[in-house]
Chain A
Amino acid sequence: SQQGEEDPQALSIQEGENATMNCSYKTSINNLQWYRQNSGRGLVHLILIRSNEREKHSGRLRVTLDTSKKSSSLLITASRAADTASYFCATVTGGGNKLTFGTGTQLKVEL
């Protein structure tokens, strides 16, 4: 079963614009992670935010976490055509060790 749901399902923007993707989840988490997947490839880890953190930055990426709303957002600033990919949020819950992935947002950045 999917723990998270990303919104929107698909997003198309122009190069240089910012892209924002949202993730909502159902149960309390230990941490939340964002992954990127290029078409036909494996997933690549982007950033991890712990349940006691509210915001985290990595290069052009900014992630926020609101545990009261059970939601997270991923912001990609100054997007590039190479950012075109699917983006997934994934959560770790309870004392478990498994990552449960959301349904993903397909981002297309056009020149």
Chain B
Amino acid sequence: GAGVSQTPSNKVTEKGKYVELRCDPISGHTALYWYRQSLGQGPEFLIYFQGTGAADDSGLPNDRFFAVRPEGSVSTLKIQRTERGDSAVYLCASSLTSSGATGELFFGEGSRLTVL
């Protein structure tokens, strides 16, 4: 597809379960970002990939959160032992920028996670 694709669009899980959220960026975009957005708030930065490596993971809230991008394209955000406070919309974005000041980000529609 032409845009950033995120799956699933909705995920309901129980407290304590493991969750994976997938992001398929725009082809050729080297930079990939994960953000988390709670209701009525702006997106909160989680992690940024440049190619296969996590260039900045300072926004991951704790060690239950982990993200990978093994081939420099698709990325998976993994959340272990989910808690009710993890409920949010998880947004993925990609960008052409390979270094330096960030240009325009292209966002997916998000994955809405609800932890019961």
Contacts and interface: CB of A to CB of B under 8 A. Distances in A.
Interface of A: 2, 4, 30-31, 33, 35, 41-45, 48, 50, 88, 90, 92, 95-104
Contacts of B33: 98-99
B91 interface: yes
Chain B, interface SS category: loop
B100 A99 contact: no
B101 A92 contact: yes
A4 B43 CA distance: 11
B66 interface: no
Contacts of A50: 101
B43 A30 contact: no
Contact of B110 (A42, A96, A101, A102): A42
Contacts of B97: 97
Interface string B3-46: 01000000000000000000000000001010100001111110
Given A42-B108, A43-B91, A45-B104, A97 B99 contact: yes
Contacts, number: 72
Nearest to A33: B104
Contact of B101 (A30, A41, A100): A30
A41 B48 contact: no
9 contacts: A30-B101, A42-B108, A45-B106, A88-B43, A90-B42, A97-B31, A97-B50, A97-B56, A99-B105
